[in-house]
């Protein structure tokens, strides 16, 4: 019950601070297994894209969260586990750890996930090159729908290093699915996926 009430509170807060506009182009909101992949400029990205999904999709979708940041306090950890049902990934992993293991487990269980393929936050309007994880997941789960998304203005709501949010209108634009083509190599696919995200900036 507490988690449900906190979820409703966060939705109201996000809508108050950002307007929380979700736009769907070439990809209607649909209850099917998906990997949503988006640009990454703030820790608030996780909250905004989660809030942009319709309720029926939020219950099916698990965002990826950096373990070191989101477990730093008991409150953050409670929100990510009880409200967002997030998947923790370690940014300071050792050589013998497979960073995709928790994502693979979630996808094998039928969950949808929210992924930030840059791997770290950026500041520019142009996303950094995507890391290999998205390609490896697309290769392993060919039937999961890959949906690009562009998150606009969230870096102004919660700039890097800040803890107090600033009211700014934001939007999340979801685009037409991207599919790994037969024989397409990693570099070509990741660049095409990155271009699909950037193409949503001006939609």
All domains of the chain, ordered by start, with CATH?
Answer: 2-198 (3.40.1130.10)
CA distances from 170 to 1, 6, 48, 105, 154 (A): 29, 21, 8, 32, 6
Tell me if the pTM is above 0.95: no
pLDDT for 159 equals 58
pLDDT for 57 equals 94
C-alpha 3: how far from chain center: 20
pLDDT for 93 equals 64
Q: What long-range pairs does 182-188 form, CB within 8 A, spacing at least 24?
A: 186/132, 186/135
Give SS3 for 88: strand
Q: For the beta carbon of residue 162, count every other beta carbon within 10 angstroms.
A: 13
Q: What is the mean pLDDT of each run of 10 residues along the chain (203 residues)?
A: 85 78 91 95 83 92 88 89 89 72 96 90 76 95 97 68 65 95 95 96 84
pLDDT for 2 equals 86
Residue from 131, 132, 149, 142 nearest 198 by CA: 149
pLDDT for 203 equals 80
CA atoms within 13 A on the CB side of 12: 6
């Amino acid at each position: 019950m507490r988690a449900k009430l906190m979820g409703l509170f966060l939705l109201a807060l996000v809508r108050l601070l950002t307007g929380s506009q979700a736009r769907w182009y070439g990809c209607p909101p649909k209850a099917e297994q998906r990997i949503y992949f988006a640009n990454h400029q703030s820790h608030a990205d996780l909250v905004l894209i989660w809030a942009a999904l319709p309720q029926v999709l939020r219950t099916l979708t698990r965002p990826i969260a950096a373990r070191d940041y989101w477990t730093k306090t008991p409150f953050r950890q409670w929100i990510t586990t009880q409200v967002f049902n997030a998947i923790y990934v370690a940014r300071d992993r050792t050589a013998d750890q497979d960073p995709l293991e928790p994502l693979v487990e979630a996808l094998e269980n039928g969950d949808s996930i929210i992924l930030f393929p840059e791997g770290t936050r950026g500041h520019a309007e142009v996303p950094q090159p995507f890391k290999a994880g998205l390609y490896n997941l697309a290769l392993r789960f060919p039937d999961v729908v890959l949906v690009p998304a562009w998150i606009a203005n969230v870096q102004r709501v919660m700039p890097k290093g800040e803890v107090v949010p600033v009211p700014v209108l934001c939007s999340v634009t979801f685009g037409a699915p991207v599919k790994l083509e037969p024989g397409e190599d990693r570099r070509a696919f990741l660049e095409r996926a990155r271009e699909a995200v950037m193409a949503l900036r001006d939609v």
